[in-house]
Structure 1
Amino acid sequence: MKFCSECAHPLTVAIPEGDNRPRYVCTHCGTIHYQNPKLVIGSIPVWQREGEFKILLCKRAIEPRYGYWTLPAGFMENEETTEQAAVRETEEEAGANVRLGKLFTLLNVAHVHQVHLFYLAELLDLDFAAGIESLDVRLFAEDEIPWDDLAFPTIRTTLELFFADRARIREGGGDYGFHGGDVTRPMRSADGPAPEQPD
């Protein structure tokens, strides 16, 4: 930030009295501008009919990671719940109708000041289409997932955990769990190594 949103005066970076970290401070009107992590909310849309079991993925039409595959997700808006955000983002990015299930992953991405949450979701029909932020939307079986072309470490981690839980369930091991973790390294470059997993 360069200017105060309250009075338009130039800002100073300082540690306010009683605080312990630098903040953007307006010395003119006294406003302290706190910045907090953003929530990225999405879903894992599953199509399961007559022996088929597939996941809906979107190919990104925007940066970062243009042209890479992702689960439908985006930033949570004010005045909505995390569940509402997951449904809205799925509709906006994939044009998909889903019935939301329980929260599946919560992944802290501290180096970019974000927390990513993904909900289990049942795809209700095949009437989906790419939204303005997607180049393509497609169903993938587990052996078809484009692992080398996934957009972010949190997407890869969520999918790996999902299929690991599914394998356990198929062997009679209960239901999908809840998974938390930290992503401590940035996403890979286009020609770099595979994304790091949460520690």
Structure 2
Amino acid sequence: MNRTPAKHCRNCGTLVELRLPDDGDTRTRAVCPACHTVHYDNPLNVVGTVPVWGETGELVLLCKRNIEPRRGKWTLPAGFMELGETTAEGAARETDEEAGASFEMGDIFTLMNVARVGQVHIYYRARLLSDQFNPGHETMEARLFTEEEIPWDEIAFRTVRETLEHYFADRRRGHFGFHAFDIA
């Protein structure tokens, strides 16, 4: 994972040094030589929903991306969590922004660690209250699909594919569980 570390201290503005902190930490960090503040580079949270429609949840709402990465590919409504919001609030905001969908939030469904890119993906189940959508600028098209209709070759991200596969497997079983796993 190669994210660019902080260059200047957010407390005093001094150019930071990449080194082991003096507190016994065993990882190289961005450390301010003036005020000794340690700047941590933490994972980003991606939050979203699996919005479903129909009496038995047979239809899933997917959004065709209008932004990079993977412009033109299909995804569940999701995006980066903002400071000051819970994972559920972020998932709801992203679903509204990307799909313009009216829905009722359900339980947390999948939690995936994507360590190679420094991300944690969290998806909630959601029940759509309408089959009418008003997608935002990040979405070319918002559409309902049955499992058989999903363009599986055009799914944008592995985390979305895995979440969809778990959703349909759980639906066939008649019981929805919580799925936590790592994506290599």
Range of TM-score over shorter length = over 0.9
Give the corresponding residue for 1:105: 110
Q: Give SS of 2:54's match.
A: strand
- With the length of structure 2 as denominator, give the TM-score of the two structures: 0.92
Is the 1:129–1:136 contact (alpha carbons within 8 Å) kept by the matching residues of 2?
A: no
Distance, in Å, in 2 between the alignment partners of 1:159 and 1:80 is 25
- Pick which of 106-115 and 4-13 moved more: 4-13
Distance, in Å, in 2 between the alignment partners of 1:133 and 1:33 is 32
Give the corresponding residue for 1:48: 54
- When residues 46 and 106 of structure 1 are mapped into structure 2, their CA distance, relative to the original with a 3 A threshold, is same
Distance, in Å, in 2 between the alignment partners of 1:149 and 1:43 is 18
Q: Determine which of 39, 45, 55 is the counterpart of 1:33.
A: 39
Is the 1:101–1:120 contact (alpha carbons within 8 Å) kept by the matching residues of 2?
A: yes
Q: Determine which of 82, 88, 96 is the counterpart of 2:93.
A: 88
Shift of 1:75: 1.0
Q: Give SS of 1:63's match.
A: coil
Q: CA RMSD in A?
A: 1.3
Percent identity of paired positions between Structure 1 and Structure 2: 53
Shift of 1:52: 7.6
1:120 partnered with 2:128: no
Distance, in Å, in 1 between the alignment partners of 2:78 and 2:120 is 12
Q: Give SS of 2:148's match.
A: helix
Shift of 1:44: 0.3
Distance, in Å, in 2 between the alignment partners of 1:68 and 1:8 is 41
Distance, in Å, in 1 between the alignment partners of 2:76 and 2:70 is 13
Q: Give SS of 1:88's match.
A: helix
Shift of 1:79: 1.5
Higher RCO (CA-CA < 8 Å; seq separation 6+)? 2
Q: How many residues align?
A: 178
Distance, in Å, in 2 between the alignment partners of 1:39 and 1:99 is 21
Is the 1:108–1:183 contact (alpha carbons within 8 Å) kept by the matching residues of 2?
A: yes
Structure 2 segments unaligned to the other structure (5+ residues): 1-5
Is the 1:72–1:90 contact (alpha carbons within 8 Å) kept by the matching residues of 2?
A: yes
Shift of 1:7: 2.3
1:71 partnered with 2:76: yes
